[in-house]
Chains A and B, each alone.
Chain A
Amino acid sequence: MFKELDPILHSQLRLAIMSLLISVKEAEFTFIREKTNATAGNLSVQVQKLKDAGYIEVIKQFKDNYPQTTCKVTPAGLKAFEDYVKALQQYLKV
């Protein structure tokens, strides 16, 4: 019986964001935008969806008088990502 893929993660940009954030402790919004080549608007929407799902934590603060948004994966996000990869492996029999 195949496990259903998490619809929150099975989206190209959201999966890219999660894969990036899994690899680092935390990352600035600009870093994620640079690595995913996404537009700021699109990225904001997807980051918000991941935040609403409880998969990432978004910290908004000011640095040198400029707004700075930092994202990091939550334990729930880590678990969801692990489950997603396991499900993928089941599908692909790897």
Chain B
Amino acid sequence: MANETKFSEQESLQLIAEMIKKAKGSYHDTGIGSLLWGTVVSVASLMSYLQREYDFTLAIDIWWLVFAAIVPQVYIAIKEKNNVKAKQYDDDLVNAVWLVFGISIFGLSCYQNIVPVQTERLIAEEGWTMMKHFSDGRPDEVIRPFTPSLYSVYILIYAFPTMVTGMVKKFNPMKIGAIITYGLFIFSLFTESKYDMLLGSASALVCWFIPGIILRKKYLAQTSPNV
């Protein structure tokens, strides 16, 4: 491109439009992060459902798989950051939303694990017990405190960063995934908690896995040397 060539006002405007289009078109998510999280959350949720439906246990808690996925995610994030040659204005916003999402999920899992134990302790200190009383004459059973149907809240939270990312990046598959997930959240309010796991698995597929496949295809098409 020549630097001092005389050019008309019309050409100036065309050049500005062309360069803005080139800059906007340069953004491409690799899709690996979406595929990773879509896979692990979907598999963990589905396995949790199967464990409860068919009453079996695994050697380890399947949700450790989700925590383990943080390691490759950090590696992917560093590698992608090093490959990015232009930073978009909305990158910081989207990154902040996903960071807050991660913190919220961690906080919720702490709540899920700590609150029942603490409640049980407080109840024991006060000297009373929660009982399940059957109206058909079966003997009463002691109930350990638990957080009922909490996975519905997880499903609700899955939709939040997905919707924000879809709106900010104008990426319809994520917006559609989030809308479907909001629907699954409402549906989960009326279902037994083991089916919430199944709905959570579907949420992970529509929020991250399917958009991840689309992003990956786009990325490979944009970076292909033959295109």
**Mutual binders A and B:** yes
Binding site for B on A (CB under 8 A): 5, 10-16, 19-20, 22-28, 30-31, 34-38, 42, 45-46, 63-64, 85, 88, 91-92, 94
Which 3 A-B residue pairings sit nearest by Cβ, starting from the closest?
A19-B19, A23-B23, A31-B85
Q: B3 and A26: CB pair below 8 A?
A: no
User: Given the interface contacts A11-B3, A12-B7, A88-B12, does A31 sit within 8 Å of B19 by beta carbon?
Assistant: no
Give the docked Cα–Cα distance between A23 and B12 (Å): 16
Mark B12-23 against chain A: 1 for CB-CB distance below 8 A, else 0: 110110111011
Number of A-B residue pairs having CB atoms within 8 Å of each other in the complex: 88
Binding site for A on B (CB under 8 A): 1-5, 7, 9-10, 12-13, 15-16, 18-20, 22-24, 26, 82, 85-89, 91-92
> Looking at B13, B22, B85, which has the most chain A CB atoms within 10 Å of its CB?
B85
User: Given the interface contacts A11-B3, A22-B20, A36-B1, does A92 sit within 8 Å of B10 by beta carbon?
Assistant: yes
Taking the closest CB of chain A, its distance from the CB of B189, in whole angstroms, is 41
Q: B1 and A20: CB pair below 8 A?
A: no
Taking the closest CB of chain B, its distance from the CB of A66, in whole angstroms, is 11
Give the docked Cα–Cα distance between A63 and B115 (Å): 46
Taking the closest CB of chain A, its distance from the CB of B28, in whole angstroms, is 13
Residues of B within 8 A of A19 (CB): 15-16, 18-20, 23
Residue of B nearest to A28 (CB): B85
Q: B5 and A20: CB pair below 8 A?
A: no
Given contacts A19-B18, A20-B20, A85-B13, 6 further A-B contacts (CB under 8 A): A14-B3, A15-B16, A16-B1, A22-B20, A23-B20, A88-B12
